[in-house]
Structure 1
Amino acid sequence: MGMRASINYFFEWVTVLAWINFLWVVFTLLGFLVFGWAPATVAMLKVFSEIYREKNIQQPIFKTFYAQYKVSFLKANAIGIMLVLVILSMAYGLLTLPYLNDLAFYLLFGFYLIMFSLVTFIILFIFPVLTQYKLSFLNSIKYSMLVGLSNLHYSVGIVISMGIIYALFRAFPGLLLFFAVSIPSAILMKLALKVFDRVGMQTEMAK
């Protein structure tokens, strides 16, 4: 790829990232925030999945986004609401720890640490899983957790990537307006697809 082609490709990606970010905001607002962010996130990840799978940035972005938003609306909201409730419950539990005696503190702290790790795996992979597999509500959660546990290095890589992006946004806050959700999601989906391909290869080899 020549210099001019590389520059054109870069600006194509910039345009696509900004457009997808805009769609996420619009469809999140259409769902009154509470019922919009989860299906909008799944729709956004589906668009990135199509781009990566087809190895072609020229995709019907709005059509793919809208179709996935409608298809995943109920399931994505059910999972999103569940995750929010779990996180709030854990946060409340952590706030009560300082008021416990030493034994209870360490026991519950260990419990919350384990739960936090498992929930993190689910958060990382649950929405990418919804874009790739037709699983039931419970199986989607279980599969996300198992994928995260069995591919720990990828899970750590995603967390580190999110930390780097956070630092980037802190250094250049103006980027948030156009790429706040699209850049993290693009990287998340790229790594998640590598994990899914790896799991698929392992499954084939085990047959």
Structure 2
Amino acid sequence: MTSAVFLDKLYKLLNWLKILIWLNLLWIGFTVAGLGILGWAPALVSVFGVLKKLLEKQTFYLPVFKIFLNNYKTYFIKSNLIGYLFLISFSSCWYILSKSSQLNEALFFIIALILGALMSLIVVAALFCIPVLLEEKNGYTEVIKISLDKGLRFIPYSVSVIASLIAMTSLFFFFSYLLIGLSVSLPAAMISLINAQIERKETLEQTKDY
């Protein structure tokens, strides 16, 4: 590797790092602005929205704050509704499962099997729900349906997302000072990159069909 290539890669890495830190700070700020419970979901969608634009345009020179703010306002209601639908659904399953431990062993096993499968589907759908949500043609039910379909059709990608999220959680556990700058933006960037790979694969499959 020549010095010019190395410097170019270093430049790109530092630019990405700068943007990810800025996005993470914006997420924190707008989460607080939404009083926490109403701010986290639209702020998260806004992070993905900026990353989507950056990947599409292949440039670092975009009005990050403007794009973030536009997405925050556009998806404020929709993201909160879908976000809390996922949270309440998963939490309800977990609560029922915890209470079912008092039942006899055979019945608990059946309930655990059903709820475990349901929670797995919720997680798989949640992995790609924000990239799907950013496609403006999709309504509420379409977002969930398309997200689940994408997660199940591309299981290796879903597994890689989950594995990466676990690895990042471990990273943040051992290096807690990274939380302020990368806790949300880094996982979002990873999911955005994998979703972009899926979209390219879908495009190739559609091309082959024609």
TM norm structure 2: 0.93
Task: Mark the runs of 5 or more structure 1 residues left unpaired by the alignment.
Answer: none
- Pick from 108, 130, 144 the counterpart of residue 133 of structure 2: 130
Task: Mark the runs of 5 or more structure 2 residues left unpaired by the alignment.
Answer: none
1:118-170 Cα deviation digits (max 9, x unpaired): 10111101111112342110011011001000000000000011111112112
Partner of 1:182: 185
Partner of 1:99: 102
Q: Helix, strand or coil for the counterpart of 1:120? A: helix
Shift of 1:190: 0.7
- Pick from 44, 47, 50 the counterpart of residue 47 of structure 1: 50
Partner of 1:23: 26
Shift of 1:6: 2.5
Partner of 1:144: 147
Identity value in percent: 29
Shift of 1:204: 4.2
Q: Does 1:171 align with 2:171?
A: no
Query: How many residues were matched structurally?
Result: 207
Q: Helix, strand or coil for the counterpart of 1:162? A: helix
Partner of 1:82: 85
Shift of 1:45: 0.3
Contact (CA 8 Å) 2:25, 2:180: kept in 1 or not?
no
- Pick from 8, 28, 42 the counterpart of residue 5 of structure 1: 8
Q: Does 1:197 align with 2:200?
A: yes
Distance in 1 separating the partners of 2:104 and 2:114? 15
Partner of 2:115: 112
Shift of 1:14: 1.5
* Shift in CA distance, 84/205, structure 1 to aligned 2, threshold 3 Å: same
Partner of 2:36: 33
Distance in 2 separating the partners of 1:204 and 1:111? 38
Q: Helix, strand or coil for the counterpart of 1:2? A: helix
Q: Does 1:64 align with 2:67?
A: yes
Stretch moving more, 163-172 or 3-12: 3-12
- Give the residue type in structure 1 aligned to 2:159: V
Q: Does 1:73 align with 2:76?
A: yes
Shift of 1:205: 3.5
Distance in 2 separating the partners of 1:63 and 1:130? 19
Distance in 2 separating the partners of 1:94 and 1:201? 42
Partner of 1:157: 160
